[in-house]
Structure 1
Amino acid sequence: MMNGLIGVDRTDGWNGGKDMKKRPKLLITGANGFTGRHACNQLGIDYDITAVSRNYRTTESTKVDIRYFDLTNKMDVHRLVNEVQPDFLLHLAGQNHAAESWNNPIATLEANLMSTVYLLDAIRESHPVCKVVIIGSALQYDPNKNSSLTHPYGLSKTLQVQTAQAWAVLYKLNVVVAKPSNLIGPGGSTGVCSIFAKKIIEMERDKTEKVLKVNNLHARRDFLDVRDAVHAYNTLLRHGKSGEIYDITSGKSHSLHDIIKKYKTLALVDFEVESLFQPEDPPVDEVQPYKLRQLGWSTLYPLDSSLRDTLDYYRNT
């Protein structure tokens, strides 16, 4: 298994080719989240990282400068950008739970939309040469697919992406949007694969009944290893085209039934599966990451490895 440290092509002309010995400065928001912790660990080999988090939490990486800021505070954000003067910004912070957005729609808009507005405007004022990657969502509104808004979270991500694209056009900022699918892999996550893994480890430890209950076994999703996603974000930081939206996907969907079958072969305990809903397999529009592949990106972690690493993470936690 690879260690996840993704190298960067240093011949891409960063800093106009004027100082190729100097390591670029990367500002990562949401650094203590599931993806953020992987980003800090993987990208520290190529960047001087300033990691931003609202709440204190230890990090495995010793290569980052950790700052604690509230990104919904405009003055804090401007002070942060002015102090760091980043060459690159990977904006991972936000409120990522659709269900929670129903209870706190204003907080969701503040976390996802306003934090992005404050960051982009601070960059516009203090350091407009910074290259920015904003993380969108597969749940945002897509007018090309006859989709519709189904929760405040989707609204917040739609407005976030529209704002990022607008700042790229109106203020000539170098802003790229990444649109990831369902990220999986080792680390604390609220995704369905992590939920299954935690339950299975509880079964292995005889802490719960050996039954895995699932709402809909036939639900299909695109699953991508979080380490492959970080590799994709790094590719966009270096080579992504301003104003563009890039799909970050594996290009292949799997049903939850497929995931559970794989988990059953990896688990150290046998368990039953109960499905609360049994519809037919729904049609799936499998989104291919064509534009990202054209930049040289490819996946490194097959699904089985991601699920095995997820189980091992919870076994060791």
Structure 2
Amino acid sequence: MRERRKILITGAGGFTGQHACNYFNEKGYDVIAVTRKSPLSTKNVEMEACDLTDQKAVINLINLTKPHFLLHLAGQNHVGTSWHNPTSSFKANVLSSLHLIEAVRYAAPNCKIVIVGSALECNLGDLVSLTNPYSLEKTLQVLIAKAWVHLYGLNIVIVKPSNLIGPGPANGVCSIFARKIVHMEKNKLDKVLEINNLYAQRDYIDVRDAVRAYELALLKGHSGEVYEIASGISRSLEEVIHVMKSLTVIDFEVKSDGQHQVEKPFNISIDKIAALGWKPTISFKTSINDILMYYRKRE
């Protein structure tokens, strides 16, 4: 009988991590969910607590679990936090990744790793364009992954998603707006939504579509390659609000601070991940509706 595929998912308690645990569990993988503290409620998932900034703890984790696949979702993903505490943020994003990669090299060298990069990565040859510590951290994380492919022959793939949206405890702009709208639906308060720049452009992809892409990267992705994952459609916040208004019975006012700077659409190519057999299946409107329904059940 063929051995069941064992996948270790770091950051399992987060927004993407919870979706990933559910998805891979339903697909028949043996899922090992790694969190720092909080246990998950997902059934049939093995739980492991580990501080990924602790090298010995990470080595013990990989020695104990011997995964076939590693999906590394853990990290500090708030730009503001990287400004206020760059050392802690660096440890969470860069050092933890290095600890995991090194532990796999020694204890599970045949394990295939997917590292989740960011659209905010910078060009190290042009530090004038560097805008925040988080951008530097994600760039170094990916650089280390690529270097360990080249230097040690490890099987590491990098995925770079655009803005992830969908039901669940997320802190992105769509979830923030949805929470406010649901609160307005339930309470007789001033129905006003304040936005800085209505013309800010983002590419939004449903987290459930992204997780499917992560599996393809694990199964078919080429070591050292970077796979961008996106919808291919850049939307302004004005468009986002228009869709949200179509999905609620209340009429709310939108106030902007007057900064109407039009941003250029992001240049993201999904050709590589599409060549592996992936395409987005969940429409933007469905994603927004699912987010609203998630918060309506909790209001």
TM-score scaled by length of structure 1: 0.91
- 1:49 maps to what in 2? 31
Of residues 27, 42, 63, the one that matches 1:82 is: 63
Report the RMSD for the aligned CA atoms in angstroms: 1.5
Q: Residue 282 of structure 1 aligns with which residue?
A: 263
* Corresponding position of 2:156: 175
Within 2, Cα distance between the matches of 1:143 and 1:119? 23
After superposition, the C-alpha distances for 1:174-218 in whole angstroms (9 at most, x for unaligned) are 000011100000000010000000000110011642100000000
The whole-number CA distance in structure 2 between the counterparts of 1:93 and 1:104 is: 17
Q: Please name the residue that 1:231 is paired with.
A: 212
1:117 aligns with 2:98: yes
2:67 counterpart of 1:95: no
In structure 1, how many angstroms separate the alpha carbons of the residues matched to 2:229 and 2:258?
Answer: 29
Query: Who is 1:138 aligned against?
Result: 119
Deviation of the 1:278 alpha carbon: 3.4
Letter in 2 for 1:34: F
Identity %: 49
Amino acid aligned to 1:48: D
| Corresponding position of 1:220 | 201
Counterpart of 1:265?
A: 246
What is the CA distance between 1:276 and its match in structure 2? 1.0
> Out of 272, 277, 284, which is 1:291 matched to?
272
Task: Give the secondary structure class of the aligned counterpart of 1:266.
Answer: coil
Q: Distance between the aligned counterparts of 1:68 and 1:25, measured in 2?
A: 17
- 1:122 Cα deviation from its structure 2 partner: 0.3
Distance 1:199 1:285 in 2: 27
> Structure 2: how far apart are the matches of 1:50 and 1:131?
15
Does residue 149 in structure 1 map to residue 130 in structure 2? yes
CA contact (8 A) 2:123 2:130 kept: no
Per-residue displacement from partner, 1:217-256 (whole Å, max 9, x unpaired)? 0000000000000001001000011001111111110000
Q: How has the CA–CA distance of structure 1 residues 143 and 249 changed in structure 2, closer, same or farther, with 3 Å as cutoff?
A: farther
Instruction: Between 223-232 and 207-216, report the one with greater CA deviation.
Output: 207-216
Equivalents in 1 of 2:292, 2:244: separation in Å?
A: 8
Once the two structures are TM-superposed, the CA of residue 312 in structure 1 deviates from its matched residue by 0.3
Which residue is 1:11 aligned to? none
Aligned-partner Cα distance in 2 for 1:42–1:145:
39
What amino acid sits opposite 1:43 in the alignment? F
Question: Which runs of 5 or more residues in structure 1 are unaligned?
Answer: 1-18
**For the Cα contact (< 8 Å) 1:253–1:286, is it kept in 2?**
no
Whole-angstrom distance in 1 between the partners of 2:289 and 2:156: 35
User: Is the contact made by 1:222 and 1:286 (CA closer than 8 Å) also made in structure 2?
Assistant: no
* Letter of the 1:95 counterpart: Q
Out of 178, 183, 194, which is 1:202 matched to?
183
Paired amino acid for 1:225: D
Q: Please tell me whether the aligned partners of residues 118 and 138 of structure 2 are also in contact (alpha carbons under 8 angstroms).
A: yes
Q: What is aligned with 1:58?
A: 40
- The amino acid across from 2:96 in the alignment is S
Number of residues of Structure 1 aligned to a counterpart in Structure 2: 297
Q: CA deviation at 1:33?
A: 0.3
| Residue-by-residue CA offset, 1:16-51 (whole Å, 9 max, x unaligned) | xxx6x2211000000000000000001112310100
Tell me by how many angstroms 1:146 deviates: 9.5
CA distance in 2, matches of 1:285, 1:96: 19
Secondary structure of the corresponding residue to residue 161 of structure 1: helix
1:277 partner SS: coil
Query: Which consecutive aligned stretches of 4+ in structure 1 deviate over 3 angstroms post-superposition?
Result: 142-147
**Partner of residue 73 from structure 1, selected from 54, 59, 64:** 54
CA contact (8 A) 1:27 1:50 kept: yes
Q: Is the 8 A contact 2:162 2:204 kept in 1?
A: yes
Q: Distance in 2 between matches of 1:200 and 1:50?
A: 36
